[in-house]
Structures are given as structure tokens and as C-alpha cells.
Structure 1
Amino acid sequence: MGLFKSKEERRIERQMRIKQGIRNIERAIRQQQQFADDFIRNARQARKIGDNQQYLFIRSALRKTAAMKKMLERQLLAIRNALLIHQQAEASRQFAESMGLIAAEIGRAFGEMDLSRTQAQWEKAVAQARSMEERMEIFLDAMEQSAGGEVPAGAADNLVSDEEIDRMIQADVLAEEKAELGKLDELEQEIARELGTTRQKD
């Protein structure tokens, strides 16, 4: 560790000490509560056995314990309030620093801004967009004309032969026949199940 600590390191160290102090006070409060519980239990026992001298002593100790606990609770409350105020101040400081940085960036941005060059670039971009739009319209028109043209009869024959058409039709017919046969099989199975059920009842 270096001999000299940075500002951030000192800030973190202070926060750690504050948190440690809060934990110590909370622990002391819990300890005083435990003492009070023990004193109360002992006082009941003293009254039960009729030891008035011990009872008075325990009662005095319990009063001191309650006073100590209340004092620690007040200290804890004061530290927590001070910590909240510190956090508010820290937030305000960070806000001020951030606003200062933003203001500096805005000033630098306006200082570097060249509206004339920006306008020229914008006009050039608009002109390019219009030119691209016109070229796209011409291209689409050409595609529509090409797609809408009739295909010569000879070209269609060369692309798909009569045999291929026949095979396509035959495959479709076979598919329909297979579907019909499947339905007939299902119907026959259902009839057979019905007949079997009827015979069992008889």
C-alpha cells in the first residue's frame, strides 16, 4: 500500500469506518437487551424466593441497563441521520460534477459544430436518395414487364414434358386412392369392433 492514499481511497475508508461503527453500536444494543432479559429473569427468581435485597440490586442494574440501551439507540439514530445527510450531500456533489461535465461537452460540441457542412451533406444525401429511388422504380418496372410477358409455347414444352405431367397426375390419383382405402379400412375395423361387442353381450 502506498504512503499517500487517493481521495477515493480515503472516502472508501471513511465509509468502512462509519459502517463498522454502526455495526458495533447495533451489537451493543443487542447485548444490552440480552442483559436486560437476564436481569428480568433473575429479578423474578429473587421475588419468587423472597430475596428482597437481591431484587433491589437487580432492579437498579436493570435501570442502568435500560438507560444504557436507550443512549446507544439515540447514538445509532444520530449516526444514521448524519449518514443520510452525508449521502444527500454526496448526491448533490455528484450532480454538480455531472452537470459541469455535461456543460463542458455541450460547449465543445457547439464549438465543433459546422452547420454549413452539415447542410451540404444533408442536401447531397437527399439527392442521392432521390436518384436511388428513381433507379429502383425503373428496375421494378423492368422486372414487372419481364415477369408479365407470355412464355412461348415451345419454351413451355421444353421446360416440362408430357410424361412428367402424366406422372404428376398419376401420383395424385394414387394418393387419393390410398386415402380412400385407408378410410375403408378404418370403417371395417370399427364395424368389427361393434360386432365383437354385440356378441359379448349376447
Structure 2
Amino acid sequence: MDGMSGMSSMSSMSTTTTITSGMSMATSTASSSSMSSMSMTMVFTNAHDTPLFSSQWTPASSGSYAGTCIFLIILAILGRCLVAFKALMERRWLDAHLNRRYVAVAGKSPEAGRIDTDPDAKVASLVSAQGVEEKVKVVRSVTHAPLPWRFSADLPRALIFLVITGVSYLLMLAVMTMNVGYFCSVLAGAFLGELAVGRFIQWNEHGH
């Protein structure tokens, strides 16, 4: 009886060891296959059925694949146009800020009063951009200090930047699919957008 129980115990231990080693091998195989699949996705592919942004947007034919590539080109052009638009708005906000700098001139009388007291000034024509006469002088100066916070400028700036960020992340997701057509479409759109509106961005950055 003792021999039979010993044999049963050894058999159960052997079965447990076999199951454990089998589970370890299965886990190792699964990990290896998962790592190999991850490494396989990090290479470029020219498949025409690569999903874009969601599984619902999966080209089913060469025509739909070409349409997807055209969409990415337009999206990349739009991204550069948004950057150029923000640059132009920044220039406009800066000009508006500099034009608000008024410096009072000590001892300066209104032009109409000077004409009244000057016997030689018989005829005069007064034209002002504001339409009113003030004892102030408009001064434009170049400054590198940040502009003061204004709701009329900072809210549109934040909204434009939000749209630019969203478009940039969409283009990044398209590139991360590792599809050659999608990648080349994003590059082509960036090139065409810079070719069309890049001068406005450089003009604003250099202050010309």
C-alpha cells in the first residue's frame, strides 16, 4: 500500500511539473509572438487596406485609398495654412498693441488752439486717424516684452492653437500607421502648404 501511494504521489508531481512547464512554454510562445508582431508593425507597408483613425475608415479599393491619400494632403496643407494664419494674427495683434501707446507731450497745445493764436495761420486743414484732437502723440516702438493679456486676442490665439494641435496629432497618427502612401501624402501636403504660405510665417518670425 505504501508503495502504491508513493507511486501515486510521484505521478501527480510529474503531472504537475508537466502542466507547469507547458504553461511556461505557452506563455513564452505568446510573448515571443507578441514581440514579433510588434516588431513587424514597425516597418513600412504599402497595403491599400490600412485603417486610418478608426476601423470604420478602411479603404476597400485602390480608389478609396487614393481618396484617403488626397485627404491627408489637404489636411497637411490646412495645417500649414493655420500656422500662417496664426502668424498673421500675431502681427495684427502686435500692431494694435503698439498703436495704443500714447505719450503725452508736455507743453503741447491742440493744433486748433495754435492756429487761433497764430496770426499768420489763416487757412489750415486738420486730418487725424482717430477723428478727434488730443494733446497726445502716437508713438510706435519695437519691443520684445510679452503683450499684456487681452481677452479679444488671447482667446482667438488659444482657439487657433487648439485647432493646429488637433490637425498635427491627426497627421502624426496617419504617419504612425507606417503606410508608405499615407506617409508620402503627409510630406507632400507639408511641402505644398509651405510652398504656398511659408513666406507669411517667415515674415512674421523675422518681423519684416
After TM superposition, the score normalised by the length of structure 1 is 0.32
Question: Higher relative contact order at CA 8 Å, sep ≥6: structure 1 or structure 2?
Answer: 2
* Structure that is richer in helix per residue: 1
